Copies of this chain bind each other. A is one copy, B any other.
Amino acid sequence: MASITIIDIAKMCGVGVTTVSRAINNHPDISEETKAMIMQVIKDNHYVPNNSARNLKRSASKTIAVLIKGITNPFFNRMIQVFEKEIQRKKYSFILQHVDENQDEIEVAIELEKEKRLKGIVFLGGNFSHSKEKLDQLTVPFVLSTIGMTPEYDPSEYSSVSVDDYKESYKMVDYLCNQGHRKIAIITASMDDVSIGKLRYEGYKQALEDHELPLNEKLVYSMKENIESYSMENGYAVTKELLDSGEEFTALFAVSDSLAVGACKAIFESGKSVPDDYSVAGFDGLDITYYYNPSITTIRQPVEEIAEETIRILFDLINKKITHAHKTFPAELMIRESTTARK
């Protein structure tokens, strides 16, 4: 009999997975009201918690889960393709689990561990800010892929494969400064992000400082919370706001290519041109940056290599060959038509 997962219940209730667990387990730390609502949804959907029988059966299969935030981001396509190939090559099953923006990927992973008896986990994309205590709740090996972590995390607590987001971002902004730009706007993650968004923002700040340019908060924009992050739609909405603000700038650095594409669209709609009125730069190296009009200056990440290394490290962890590992790949500054020397 097919039944749904606790993750689905959480989504339906608009609460976290732990809240659902609390409701189920009569945990004191939850309001009667919320609990009643959740139990009703559970009842209505015939959800059966902890189906041990099924877990027992399923424990036979060896499964790797890839938890991905923002699956609609084309940046992940090639990576998923490589993950799939490498994981099946090892005769493991491959589960692709999408995690919503508002979901806690660790909670989702913990539930998946129970329900699917995972052997390993890949966390792909999104901002990743969890306490050591939280990470310790994961009982199977995991690797953070293309999720740069800020220094406050003890490197011995996790494994990761990515580019150096700080350094590559610095490289881009340094290039824009060298093109004579003095007023460079940025579209980055929300300020509480402690992952790639923060690292790329830090690289931006450092480059400005090294070129003795003041940081103008009015040119620092965070992606909109209510729109899929790192998306064209988000870059479009934020850039419209930036343009409407009237604050002067000559270059815009978006921390993802999709954001940059959306930014260009907003600029065109305002009757301005790229790069004559505004230089626009992205980050990632999506194919579209070459095919867009104008082609978009970006930082190209070696996605295949990153994906292959992610799986290599994950299986080294599973086979206890290593306790943790961190690999950083160099990325390439691709100078294209969307950026030019300041007129």
With A74-B74, A78-B72 known as contacts, the answer to whether A61 contacts B292 (CB < 8 A) is: no
Q: Interface 1/0s, chain A 42-64, versus B by CB < 8 A?
A: 00000000000010011011010
A72 lies within 8 A of B61 (CB) = no
Cα–Cα, bound, A7→B85 (Å) = 10
A74 lies within 8 A of B71 (CB) = no
B91 lies within 8 A of A93 (CB) = no
Asked if A182 lies at the interface with its beta carbon under 8 angstroms from chain B, I say: no
A60 lies within 8 A of B60 (CB) = yes
Asked if A321 lies at the interface with its beta carbon under 8 angstroms from chain B, I say: no
A339 to chain B, nearest CB (A): 16
A72 lies within 8 A of B63 (CB) = no
Cβ contacts under 8 Å, A72 to chain B? 74, 77-78, 81
A63 lies within 8 A of B93 (CB) = yes
Cβ contacts under 8 Å, A264 to chain B? 291, 293
Stretch at the interface among A94-102, A124-132, A140-148, A173-181: A94-102
Cα–Cα, bound, A115→B94 (Å) = 14
Q: List 24 A-B contacts (CB under 8 A).
A: A2-B89, A2-B90, A2-B91, A4-B89, A5-B89, A5-B91, A57-B61, A60-B60, A60-B61, A63-B93, A72-B78, A81-B98, A84-B96, A84-B98, A85-B98, A88-B97, A93-B93, A93-B116, A232-B288, A232-B291, A233-B287, A264-B291, A264-B293, A292-B292
